[in-house]
Structure 1
């Protein structure tokens, strides 16, 4: 087990807060406190989600949902993190370079499926590539490009990243 300290910001007119921690959509912890933090004991090497609900005499307000993985040895395979995508429009050559950074909690080797769409027409679709960029893509000025990168590990786990980028005029 590992002790995890949760902290959150104050909500106006709150009487108390309920911290709810889930593991695989099942409640792992539910704790009602009067302050802005709570410490709970959780299993090591597992991915949890959590929310805080503020309560007063008029009702409740729930926070966004956050996720984290407790430190320790993984008991199962982790899905890759969503890749960070960047674009470089070279206005001299009219060529676009798309690059991304993919990572994985348990350091699995990653492959990528990449789709690039221009004005709702698919212009590039690459599967199972190991590089972290595609370059030499001719682009049109003032055009919207939709880029999707699927990061995959060898066990079939994956994550999806999507951005929209507008080429310079």
Structure 2
């Protein structure tokens, strides 16, 4: 009986060791990160004067402008930012994909939507528009429409943009161009007249921020920002 008991004890001890080794090999699964997709801006139409707007009673210097954008996958909320001549005039967090804002008539505004959730944020492209009415002083230029493309086979990038202004010819516009690679300055140019840059090398898994200020003959300007991660 004693021999059987000893064997039985050894058997249980062996099974216990195997069980403890097996359970220790498993590691908890990493939580899946789901960043929101980028919102597509719809209204106001980029680079145009608003034709549909709300009238503000007893104040003909203001107009109610409708904003709308596409729903972004995995987004819990949206941050609407509206700027005029580089000054932030609206900064609001919303749970919907529409909003109405009361703005000055006769001015050019830029706007973006940042889709947001607990894992992070994703910034849209910059659009611009002009509110109806006579300009106060002069129209600020529209935010430049930025075109940024990367040839994955050569890791070379091409950059171009389109500027527009209600009261200046396009050949009178000037541009400040800033390109950052992982928050380190790569290109910094001021008072340029060209609307493109020669191809330049980019790095895989790097994030690029492109900012273009469009400046009219009066010195008024608007800013357009594009963020792009090369993956």
Task: Report the TM-score when normalising by structure 1.
Answer: 0.61
Moved more, 118-127 or 99-108: 99-108
CA contact 1:20–1:51 (8 Å) conserved in 2 = no
Which one has a larger percent helix, Structure 1 or Structure 2?
A: 2
User: How far did 1:75 drift?
Assistant: 6.8
Q: C-alpha displacement at 1:111, in angstroms? A: 0.5
Determine whether 1:50 maps to 2:64.
yes
Structure 1 residues 83 and 142: alpha-carbon distance in aligned structure 2, compared to 1, 3 A threshold:
same
Specify every segment of 5 or more residues in structure 1 that has no aligned partner in the other structure, as ranges. Answer: 8-18, 22-26, 30-41, 43-47, 53-61
Q: Give me the whole-angstrom Cα distance separating, in 1, the residues matched to 2:207 and 2:63.
A: 35
Describe how 1:101-140 pairs up with structure 2 within 5 A.
101-108=162-169, 109-140=172-203
Q: CA RMSD in A?
A: 2.7
Change (3 A) 1:76 1:64: closer
Paired residue total? 121
Deviations 1:52-107 (A, max 9, x none): 9xxxxxxxxx833466133x7x5732110111111010122211111111100012
Is the alpha carbon distance of 1:137 and 1:68 closer, same or farther for their aligned partners in structure 2, counting shifts above 3 Å?
same
1:1-169 equivalent positions in 2, closer than 5 A: 6=53, 20=56, 28-29=59-60, 48-50=62-64, 63-65=100-102, 68-70=131-133, 76-108=137-169, 109-167=172-230, 169=231
TM value normalised by structure 2: 0.46
> 4+ residue stretches of structure 1 with deviation over 3 A?
4-7, 64-67
Greater share of residues in strand: 1
Q: How far apart are 1:137 and its partner, in Å?
A: 1.4
What is the aligned partner in structure 2 of residue 39 from structure 1?
A: none
Query: Residues 5 and 150 from structure 1, CA distance in 2 versus in 1: closer, same or farther, beyond 3 angstroms?
Result: closer
CA contact (8 A) 1:114 1:147 kept: yes
Residue-by-residue CA offset, 1:3-52 (whole Å, 9 max, x unaligned): x8746xxxxxxxxxxx537xxxxx724xxxxxxxxxxxx7xxxxx54269
